[in-house]
Amino acid sequence: FLPYSENDDAVQTVLPHECEPEKLYEIVFTNFSGLYRYRMGDVLHMKGFWKESPVFEFAFRRNQALNIAGEKMSVRQLELAVQKLKAYAIQIEAYSFGVSLEQLPAKYFALFVLEEGQTSIQNKNKKEDLGDILDTALSEVNRDYMDLRGLGYLDKPAVYVTDRDRYEKMLDRVREGHRHNKPLHILSEDVSKVLFTERSDHHAE
C-alpha cells in the first residue's frame, strides 16, 4: 500500500499490517513473475482492524479531476468540500459532480442524495443558497478555484437534490457496459452534458 499524497510525493510503500487507521492508501500490486509493481489507482480508506486483519473501504480513484479553467479539482478535494457541508447541517449520503459548458462562464453541478431521515435541508440559509454554500466549500479546498471564481472564469455551481432511487438509475445508465459498482464522484463531460440538460428530472434546490 502506498500512503496517499495529494502531491503524489509518497515513495515508501507499507504492508497491510503497517497501515494506520483513518488514513488513505493506494493499492500497489506485485506479481510472482517479475519485479514490476503496479499502481492500481484505487485509493482506500483504512477503517481499522478486525482482529489482526485490516479493514478497508473504497474511497475514490486518483488522477480524476474536474478542470474547466485550470483549477484541477481532485476527487479528494470534492470529498472534503462535501464534508464541509456538515457545518450547515447538510448530511450527504451520495454525490456526483460534473461540469456544465452550455453557457459561459462554465460551472460545476452536483447531484446530492440526502441521508435517510433528512427530507429537507435544515440550515439558517435559504434553500436557493445551497449553491453559495457549496461554492464557499469548494473555494476553501482549492485556492485556484477561488481565484478563478473571483476573476469570473467560473460561475457558481448548481446543486440538485434527488432521491436514492433516481440517483441509482442515473448511475446504472452511466455504468452501462461496465461491471464495477464503485462510487462515481466525477462524471465524464459527455455524461455531464446529457444529465445536465435533463436537470428538470431532478429536484433543484
CA distances to 58, 103, 123, 205 from 196, in Å? 27, 12, 26, 14
8-39: buried (b, 16+ CB within 10 Å) or exposed (e) per residue? eeeeeeeeeeebeeeebbbeeeeeeeeeeeee
Tell me if the pTM is above 0.75: no
Which segment of 50-54, 78-82, 118-122, 154-158 scores lowest on mean pLDDT? 118-122
Provide the pLDDT for residue 204: 43
Q: Quote the pLDDT of residue 124.
A: 45
Beta bridge partners of 42: 61
Residues 8-58: tens digit of each pLDDT: 778 889 999 999 999 989 999 887 777 788 888 888 889 999 988 899 988
The separation between CA 185 and the C-alpha centre of its own chain, rounded to angstroms, equals: 4
Most confident of the ranges 65-74, 107-116, 132-141: 132-141
Tell me how many degrees the CA angle 66-56-187 measures, rounded to the nearest 5.
20
Listed in sequence order, the residues at least 6 apart from 4 whose beta carbon sits closer than 8 Å to its beta carbon are 10, 23, 24, 25, 26, 43, 62, 76
Per-residue pLDDT, averaged over 103-119, amounts to 83
Residue 14 has what pLDDT? Answer: 93
Q: Which residues pair with 52 in a beta bridge?
A: none
Average confidence score pLDDT of the chain = 82
Span 164-175, pLDDT tens digits: 888 888 877 776
Q: C-alpha grid cell for residue 56?
A: 478497508
Q: Which helix (H) or strand (E) holds 164?
A: helix 164-174
- DSSP letters spanning 117-145: T--S--SSS-GGGHHHHHHHHHHHH-HHH
Look up residue 157 and give its DSSP letter: P
Contact status, residue 111 vs residue 160, Cβ threshold 8 Å:
yes
Residue 189 CB neighbour total at 10 angstroms: 12
Q: In which band, very low, low, confident or very high, does the pLDDT at 5 lie, cut at 50, 70 and 90?
A: confident
